[in-house]
Amino acid sequence: MSDEDNGEYRKGHFFILLAIGLALGICTLDILSPLQGAVAVLYTSVIVLVGLTHRQAPIVMAAAGCASLAIAGYCASHWGAPLGSPAMRLGVSLVALMITTVLVLRQLREVEERERADARYRTIFAAGGFPIWESDWSGAHGLLHKGHPIDACTVELAFAAAFVKNANLAAACLFGFERREDLVGRSLLELATPATSEALVRIYEALMHGASSVEEETRFVSRTGREFDILLQVTIPPDHDGWKRILIMGADITERKRAQERLAAAQIELAHISRVTILGELAASIAHEVNQPLTATITYARSAARWLAREAPDAHEVSECLSAITANAERAAQVIARIRDLARNSDVRHAQISLSTLIAETLELVQREMTTKGVTLTLNIESDLPPVTGDKVQLQQVLLNLLINARQAMLDTPEERRHLTVRAFRKAEKHIAVEVHDTGHGLAAGQDNLFTPFFTTKRDGMGMGFAICRTIMGQHEGSIEARSNAKGGATFVFVLPMKTDHVHGGSEGLVPQH
């Protein structure tokens, strides 16, 4: 038995002795006093006193004892007397005694219930496998509520003023300590990384805006030097008393993050392979795009030589030839630069992009591929389309995929009915849709797994085209979908949000770069 329990026990004895004394006193008063009042009602105070022991048996015994004393008191004074107001007073006293007992017992049960719950939560807190800790952020509360701006400087001060009040073993282990006690009392500032302060800015902002619970991903470095990603759940309990008690739960998501990073890298690699494959397929078309301006350049050069060689050399014609040479050579260089961008395995770079230019440049690459297969191309682009934000190469890849799929789908269509229509238009105020409409074999019924990786109906298809398109659209907050046309063929639409002029207000650099 612990000291604490022992003390409780002795206190209980003391209360019981006191209660017995009190009861005997009341009994004496009841019998000897000439008072005509319901003295026995005073027995209720005995019950309350015994209630302080927080134990059920003494309370019940006290109730029984007091009732017996009250009855004995009545008998001693009024035995043999006819029933009258004294008997009535006894009755009232007994009822009061009973009610008090019931109330005290009920309170006792509530206290026990609460204690059990507390114990249960303490067990969960201490033994739970996931890290939980309680911090005192009253320093931060003071700073922020004094109107300090939520900037890097304030955050650092606020962070330094915060400390861990309580923590479980899992939390201690997470931060690289062996015992709970090593973490308790510390500030986590010494274990922070730059990402931590960024997350704190967002947490403080959310809390200052009235949130009572915030979730943030961030990164700490443990005392042993291991960097880890953590998902924090910061909760302000109702009785926080100026952020004195903030409950924080953390989940180690390092592995998940690593897996996500590996997945992203694999996706980029796959997209690259697919792009290079497409370029291979388009080799003839691309060669044509480069060949045309080269042919023009050569012919203009020879023509210029002839204009010069005439009896009366024509300076005007020669100069026309020269500027045409420059223009055509530049055109060839541009086509090559575009191909090089597509072939390069470059990092994703988001920039402002004009979809109409993107469509025109992409069509240039497949143009010949289409004409040689007898496909007629119709272009229908809404005027003054606002720009979108995105990675040019990736968006071009999506469009290329759709165009090549459409061409492949039309191989069995009679030549005179091979029509490909590319449309771009505003959709629902804030979006731009790009639609590729073909007259091919269309989608087979129930083909809703088009977008799953490796789904293909082609003999030499890899089935990655759409899977990649969808990943790319996901990274652009866009969407892509397919439908069958009423008159045969299929239509593929991808939708992108328009670029908004809204720039993340001043907190650039703190926002994680995706």
Partner 1 sequence: MTFWSDMLENTLATVRLLPPLVAVVDDDAGVRGSLDSLLRSEGMRTQPFASARELMQSPLLEEISCVVTDLNMPETDGLALQVWLSERKSISPPIILITAYPTCQARQRALEGGAAAFLTKPVDPDTLLEAIARTLQI
Ligand X SMILES: Nc1ncnc2c1ncn2[C@@H]1O[C@H](COP(=O)(O)OP(=O)(O)OP(=O)(O)O)[C@@H](O)[C@H]1O
Binding site for partner 1 (CB under 8 A): 288, 291-300, 302-304, 306-307, 310, 314, 317, 320-321, 324, 327-328, 331, 368, 371-372, 376-377
Name the nearest CA neighbour of 364 among 326, 337, 345: 337
Tokens of 80: 């043999």
The H-assigned helical ranges of 33-168 are 43-51, 56-78, 85-127, 138-145, 152-161
- Provide the minimum distance between the beta carbon of 376 and partner 1 in the complex, in angstroms, as a whole number: 7
The H-assigned helical ranges of 225-314 are 254-281, 283-309
Task: Choose one: 98-106, 251-259, 272-280, 404-412; the region binding Mg ion (CB under 5 A).
Answer: 404-412
Pick one of 166, 196, 405, 471: the residue that binds ligand X (CB under 6 A). Answer: 405
- Among Mg ion, partner 1, ligand X, none, residue 177 binds (CB under 5-8 Å by kind): none
Identify residue 283 by its one-letter amino acid code: A
Tokens of 305: 């030589």
- Provide the minimum distance between the beta carbon of 449 and Mg ion in the complex, in angstroms, as a whole number: 14
- Among partner 1, Mg ion, ligand X, none, residue 331 binds (CB under 5-8 Å by kind): partner 1
- Provide the minimum distance between the beta carbon of 449 and ligand X in the complex, in angstroms, as a whole number: 9
Say whether 346 sits in a helix, a strand or coil.
coil
Look-up: residue for tokens 């809390």? 207
CB 457 within 8 A of CB 473: no
Look-up: residue for tokens 């007091």? 66
User: Rounded to 5 degrees, what are φ and ψ at 269?
Assistant: -65, -45
Residue whose CB is less far from Mg ion, 139 or 465 = 465
- Provide the minimum distance between the beta carbon of 282 and ligand X in the complex, in angstroms, as a whole number: 13
Residue whose CB is less far from Mg ion, 101 or 405 = 405
Residue whose CB is less far from ligand X, 86 or 442 = 442
Name the nearest CA neighbour of 478 among 461, 493, 490, 460: 493
- Among partner 1, Mg ion, ligand X, none, residue 406 binds (CB under 5-8 Å by kind): ligand X
- Provide the minimum distance between the beta carbon of 440 and partner 1 in the complex, in angstroms, as a whole number: 19
Tokens of 50: 């015994």
- Among Mg ion, partner 1, ligand X, none, residue 291 binds (CB under 5-8 Å by kind): partner 1
- Among Mg ion, ligand X, partner 1, none, residue 288 binds (CB under 5-8 Å by kind): partner 1
Contacts of 314 (CB under 8 A, 6+ apart): 307
- Among ligand X, partner 1, Mg ion, none, residue 457 binds (CB under 5-8 Å by kind): ligand X
- Provide the minimum distance between the beta carbon of 375 and ligand X in the complex, in angstroms, as a whole number: 12
Residues in 269-328 that interact with ligand X by CB under 6 A: none
CB 437 within 8 A of CB 423: yes
Q: Which residue is nearest to Mg ion (CB)?
A: 465
| Stretch 459-478: interaction string toward Mg ion, x if CB under 5 A | ------x-------------
Look-up: residue for tokens 């029509």? 419
Cβ count within 10 A of residue 324: 18
Name the nearest CA neighbour of 294 among 324, 315, 318, 317: 324
How far apart are alpha carbons 109 and 106 in whole angstroms? 5
390 lies in the site for Mg ion, by CB under 5 A = no
Residue whose CB is less far from partner 1, 192 or 321 = 321
How far apart are alpha carbons 48 and 105 in whole angstroms? 10
Q: Which residue is nearest to ligand X (CB)?
A: 465
Pick one of 490, 494, 495, 496: the residue that binds ligand X (CB under 6 A). Answer: 490
Name the nearest CA neighbour of 470 among 497, 491, 447, 452: 452
Residue 401 Cα to chain centre, angstroms: 32
| Stretch 427-466: interaction string toward ligand X, x if CB under 6 A | -----------x-xxxx------x----xxxx--xxxxxx
Say whether 336 sits in a helix, a strand or coil.
helix
Tell me how far apart the 2 most distant CA atoms of the chain are, in Å: 161
Residue whose CB is less far from ligand X, 199 or 278 = 278
CB 378 within 8 A of CB 410: no
176 lies in the site for ligand X, by CB under 6 A = no
- Provide the minimum distance between the beta carbon of 470 and Mg ion in the complex, in angstroms, as a whole number: 12
How far apart are alpha carbons 67 and 73 in whole angstroms? 10
- Among partner 1, ligand X, Mg ion, none, residue 273 binds (CB under 5-8 Å by kind): none
| Stretch 406-425: interaction string toward ligand X, x if CB under 6 A | x--x----------------
According to DSSP, the residues that pair with 292 across neighbouring strands are none
Residue whose CB is less far from Mg ion, 386 or 463 = 463
Pick one of 138, 274, 394, 405: the residue that binds Mg ion (CB under 5 A). Answer: 405
- Among ligand X, Mg ion, partner 1, none, residue 368 binds (CB under 5-8 Å by kind): partner 1
274 lies in the site for Mg ion, by CB under 5 A = no
397 lies in the site for Mg ion, by CB under 5 A = no
Q: Count of residues binding ligand X (CB under 6 A)?
A: 21
Q: If you compute the radius of gyration of the chain from its CA atoms, what whole number of angstroms results? A: 42
User: Rounded to 5 degrees, what are φ and ψ at 216?
Assistant: -145, 145
CB 216 within 8 A of CB 234: yes
Residues that bind ligand X (CB under 6 A): 401, 405-406, 409, 438, 440-443, 450, 455-458, 461-466, 490
